[in-house]
Structure 1
Amino acid sequence: MEIIKQLADNKGTFIERYTHQDDVLSQYRYDVTKDESYKLRMNNKSNGLESELSKVIEKYMSKFELSEKQRENINLLAEGNKVVIGGQQAGLFVSPMYTIHKIISIIILAKEQSTKLGTEIIPVFWIAGEDHDFDEVNHINVFTAENNVHKIKYYPTEEVTDSVSVLNFEQEALKFTIDRFITSLTETHSTKSIYKLLNNLPENWTDHFQYIIHTLFKDYGLLLIDSQNKEVRALETDILVWMFDHHEAINQAFRNGQEKMESLIGERQILTETNVHLFMSFEGKRQLLKFQDGKYKLSKSDATFTKAEIRAKIQVAPHLFSNNVVTRPLMEEMLFNTLAFVGGPSEIKYWGELKQVFDFAKVEMPPVVPRMRITYTNDKLLKDMRRFNITIDSLYHNGIEKFQKDFLGSKENRLLLSQMQETIANLEVDYEAMQLLDIPMETKQLLQDNLNYHKRQFEYFKKRYHQDIKRHHDIDFKALNAIGNMMNPSGGLQERMMHPLQFINTYGFNILDEVIDNIDNYTFDHTILKP
């Protein structure tokens, strides 16, 4: 495996500002680029929940066989060792690739800081099982043999309205999805093993996600927790009650912090109308709580509750309640002894909106570390890029469309198109002269329609002419499309489209170990790797 390039963020982009001591740092506690930040963070006091939390995690993870390193880390967690933590929604078959990159980031940062700080730092991945936005997690993308992106969805017979943690697969729909996915792969020595893995999945949605991650990363000692796990919720009871009791102050702190962050970056990341910032599961639906007209109302029900009723429900059935995006980071920090949080660019931004929430709660915001971004290439793509004189920097700066347009232009007969354009220009002059004749308005309109017809015909000619060029140079345009779709799909990062199991199918089950082994130092740059 070879690191081909490490791309720094363009000047003025959020991550570039965040990692270069910009004024946005005023909304965070630590400068994550400095080793001193992590040393200082080690002085942060324990929250006292580590012993109970370690038992909850051990019980949760024991449904699958724990590795020796995982057992060791559970014991270290109980003793108060700090963690590097990050989380993600439970995407279908662990989709997409940036979920894997977030886990790799957590593992590498924990390992690096363990060495620098001289103490074991534990990697932890938080599965956002309380999430109910099923459309965000119910599909996968695969690259076809023609390097186009193809979406495969899981289709349940009933609408999903509650947290995905309570969702079980419908076996017929799951089998259909697995078969579609497997048949979309190019058969390799890993395909049968992937098929076997998918056919042994647990029936619960978040359990299937946990199972795949556990299988891939257990030897690194990665600890996993589902935020919707009932025993986690029980451990959170007092915190949930405190959040509910103080929701007005939390909401005001959030609004103030969001306003300050918006003044720095020109946008809002968190869009919510709630003022309680907690969800409640009611009538089979996960619903936002809102305080209005002296009552607590739900977003998808006519039911109303008093403060005493909600408070009592939290104490008796905490598993019915969950955090929204405003209170989730705070809950995470009040549960775990965190050295650092690892998140994507959007997460880093919305944590910046929560500084005043942390301040109100008297909880120190940890170092908020951008996850690593990785794109994979291969010899054929690199060879084609050289052939078309496309550098990695120029591809991400300009997009593939520029190079497609340039190549098309290089194959045009410029004289032909120039003479056609000249013909249209002469027609416009002639028709303009005819418009000055003493003729009825109806005739003038007829002349204009006739000119427009000739212009449309010229545009039609150019379109068909370009199609002919593309047909004659089909191999070249397919190569350009492959570069764009594989390296910069839809103008975005590969990791937002690529599925990790397709990556494993191509390179084998050890490929993620190779990725971890070949990244010597944690980086904020966009890394281009050639397996």
Structure 2
Amino acid sequence: MTQLKSTIKFQNTGYFSKIMCDYLDQEDSIKDFYGNFPDIEGFKKQIAQKSGSYKDKNRKVLFQCVQEQTKHLSLSKLTKEHLYLLKDPKTFTVTTGHQLNLFTGPLYFLYKIISAINLATELKKNFPAYHFVPVYWMATEDHDFEEIQFFNYKGKKIQWNKDVKGAVGRTSTQGLNLVFDEIEKRFGKSKNADKLKELFSKSYLEHDTLTEATRYLANELFTDYGLVIIDGDDPGLKTLFVPHIKEELMDQTCFKEVSKTNVSLGDSYPIQVNPREINLFFLDNELRERILIEEGCFKVNNTDLVFTKGQLLDLLLVSPEKFSPNVLMRPLYQEVILPNLCYIGGGGEMAYWMQLKSFFKSVNVPFPILLLRNSVLIINKKQGKKLKKLHISEEEIFLSQNDLVRKKVKEISDLKIDFSEQRSELEKMFRHLKSLSDRTDKSFSGAVLAQEKKQLNGLNKLEKRLLQAQKRKYKEIVSRITWLQEQLFPKQSLQERQANFAEFYEDYGDELIPALVEVLKPLQLEFDIITMES
């Protein structure tokens, strides 16, 4: 497959928050909230920091647990090598995480993992004495099933209707045969469509839980690239986190440190997540509820479970798997059990990670490098031709629909739809009248100001009416512009946040992922536009 790639700065797309744009620009206002920057010099420093803090016993436990988790998978030679390399003191991970969305969910699932894969390759080139393993951390302990129970296929939602309680990873796959029936109706009859159906069937209909299904699916898609898949809902891994769980229960360090950070961040940026007094859940079959402190005791929200301090600490030592980190504690859990250098995520994830730097420092765990994942707009051959025919540049396609239509209509119109010269003349005239009004009474000054406002408003209305008239005149071109942009930006959102990989796999098959791996460069820190030529 041949493809043409270009890039646009994240900051110029209009789809990324101020905190992310300031981070990419390394503005002084954000520097206190992250550690090393994602460049080669930053990774050199990060390797030194992590080397001095990560314990060999953690490596041993990590290897044993992941080996057990993946024993039923058919692993590639490279994945096996990466798994065994976890025991080597010179091995580090680069990690991305994602919910267990049905059939991978939004398209950016692919971009997250490819960012990790390509970053590991890039680091090996720059630091050949070390080893780097790409990791996909499955968010198996989440309990927001409503967020993951569907995926979009060609603008239509395919949904799994099920009543789920507790951690989503433990959810039975029973009932997904009905989703498969829906897929068979909607997917095409091509060879690639048949492969997708087979992939869904083997992933979800031949595995008992959502964790097992997602692990199989991710391995099938990325095993050739040595991806190591980790499930944090593991008693062995939780033993490594016991000291930090205890500190959270006894001292509420996360609440104290993140609250202070939020005060500092809040001066310039919106707060992504507010901490709880205790940032842990109690986890059991069909149960994941917050742990609360009330009247000197520990209670599990929405249950009758109550523990004294001693009882809860005893339970922690015997059954650490019953304690589940929330969104603010999960990053610490991950960094404690992994020899990790970098976390790769989207803008929202990066924002809440930036709330955690002082918390990490207070518990003596190195804060990882934060890398904004690759983002991609895929344009097929037909869409590329239409963009050229309509004279729409790659930067222009990111404009809001109103701004894009307005700009294009002004360009093609045989009339000049720009009253800037008339505004300038009006303003010049009223500046003269204002100078006269300064030598008269206030009532005349008020009349001048009111008249200026009225005249400018009238001029603006006339310009809008002329624009609307030209839109009607060129309605066929306007329709083609809006239709094309809606194809590339469904629901006026980024393609990667709405579409599922399936509709692109139908077109490009097994060449899709290799084509993306070939061109995406995670340290380039720019938004990728890829035009598929064949």
The normalised TM-score by structure 1 is 0.82
* Alpha-carbon distance change, 379 to 309 in structure 1, aligned in 2, over 3 angstroms: same
Distance 2:472 2:327 in 1: 51
5+ residue gaps in structure 1?
Answer: 144-148, 415-461
Counterpart for residue 84 of structure 2: 75
SS in 2 for 1:288: strand
Distance 1:238 1:14 in 2: 32
Distance 1:263 1:293 in 2: 34
Counterpart for residue 22 of structure 1: 27
Distance 2:302 2:507 in 1: 45
Match of 2:151 among 125, 140, 158: 140
Please state if 1:62 is matched with 2:65: no
Conserved? CA contact 2:166–2:285, under 8 Å = no
Match of 1:152 among 152, 158, 162: 158
Distance 1:391 1:292 in 2: 59
- Listed as ranges, the matches of 1:233-272 within 5 Å are 233-246=238-251, 248-265=252-269, 267-272=270-275
Residue 370 of structure 1: how far off its partner (Å): 0.9
SS in 2 for 1:63: coil
Counterpart for residue 117 of structure 1: 127
SS in 2 for 1:509: helix
Counterpart for residue 447 of structure 2: none
Conserved? CA contact 1:93–1:208, under 8 Å = no
- Listed as ranges, the matches of 1:253-292 within 5 Å are 253-265=257-269, 267-272=270-275, 274-281=276-283, 284-292=286-294
Counterpart for residue 167 of structure 2: 163
Match of 2:100 among 81, 90, 94: 90
Distance 2:139 2:262 in 1: 23
1:72 alignment partner AA: E
SS in 2 for 1:276: coil
Counterpart for residue 514 of structure 1: 515
Please state if 1:42 is matched with 2:53: no
Match of 2:225 among 216, 220, 229: 220
Counterpart for residue 523 of structure 1: 524
Residue 302 of structure 1: how far off its partner (Å): 4.4
Residue 327 of structure 1: how far off its partner (Å): 0.9
Once the two structures are superposed, what CA deviation does each residue of 1:271-308 show, in whole Å capped at 9, x if it has no partner?
A: 35x21100102573210112233222333224332222
2:118 alignment partner AA: I
Distance 1:151 1:404 in 2: 28
Match of 1:394 among 393, 396, 399: 396
SS in 2 for 1:192: helix
Residue 58 of structure 1: how far off its partner (Å): 1.1
Distance 1:253 1:17 in 2: 23
Conserved? CA contact 2:115–2:520, under 8 Å = no
- Listed as ranges, the matches of 1:89-488 within 5 Å are 89-118=99-128, 119-143=130-154, 149-156=155-162, 159-170=163-174, 173-201=175-203, 202-246=207-251, 248-265=252-269, 267-272=270-275, 274-281=276-283, 284-396=286-398, 398-404=399-405, 479-488=480-489
Distance 1:167 1:350 in 2: 27
The more displaced of 126-135 and 362-371 is 362-371
Counterpart for residue 431 of structure 1: none
Residue 391 of structure 1: how far off its partner (Å): 1.9
Residue 406 of structure 1: how far off its partner (Å): 6.8
Once the two structures are superposed, what CA deviation does each residue of 1:56-92 show, in whole Å capped at 9, x if it has no partner?
A: 1111112111111111111111112111011111100
Conserved? CA contact 1:128–1:226, under 8 Å = yes
Residue 28 of structure 1: how far off its partner (Å): 1.1
Number of equivalent positions: 465
Conserved? CA contact 1:47–1:335, under 8 Å = no
The share of aligned pairs that are identical, in percent, is: 22
Conserved? CA contact 1:399–1:484, under 8 Å = no
2:248 alignment partner AA: M
Residue 264 of structure 1: how far off its partner (Å): 3.1
2:346 alignment partner AA: G
Distance 1:198 1:240 in 2: 37
Conserved? CA contact 1:85–1:124, under 8 Å = yes
* Alpha-carbon distance change, 511 to 84 in structure 1, aligned in 2, over 3 angstroms: same
Residue 169 of structure 1: how far off its partner (Å): 1.3
Once the two structures are superposed, what CA deviation does each residue of 1:411-460 show, in whole Å capped at 9, x if it has no partner?
A: 9999xxxxxxxxxxxxxxxxxxxxxxxxxxxxxxxxxxxxxxxxxxxxxx
Counterpart for residue 427 of structure 1: none
1:527 alignment partner AA: D
SS in 2 for 1:66: coil
Once the two structures are superposed, what CA deviation does each residue of 1:140-184 show, in whole Å capped at 9, x if it has no partner?
A: 0111xxxxx21111012xx212001210112xx312212323432
* Alpha-carbon distance change, 333 to 221 in structure 1, aligned in 2, over 3 angstroms: same
Distance 1:339 1:382 in 2: 38
Distance 2:187 2:83 in 1: 37
Distance 1:310 1:376 in 2: 51
Please tell me the root mean square deviation across aligned C-alpha atoms, in Å.
Answer: 2.7
Distance 1:278 1:205 in 2: 22
Distance 1:140 1:3 in 2: 28
* Alpha-carbon distance change, 364 to 164 in structure 1, aligned in 2, over 3 angstroms: same
Conserved? CA contact 1:295–1:304, under 8 Å = yes
SS in 2 for 1:287: strand
Conserved? CA contact 1:54–1:77, under 8 Å = yes
Distance 2:496 2:124 in 1: 27
Conserved? CA contact 1:3–1:529, under 8 Å = yes
1:512 alignment partner AA: I
Residue 520 of structure 1: how far off its partner (Å): 5.3
Residue 222 of structure 1: how far off its partner (Å): 0.7
Conserved? CA contact 2:183–2:197, under 8 Å = no
2:171 alignment partner AA: L
* Alpha-carbon distance change, 401 to 182 in structure 1, aligned in 2, over 3 angstroms: farther
1:484 alignment partner AA: Q
1:151 alignment partner AA: K
The normalised TM-score by structure 2 is 0.81
SS in 1 for 2:85: helix
1:42 alignment partner AA: I
Conserved? CA contact 1:281–1:287, under 8 Å = yes
Conserved? CA contact 1:182–1:191, under 8 Å = no
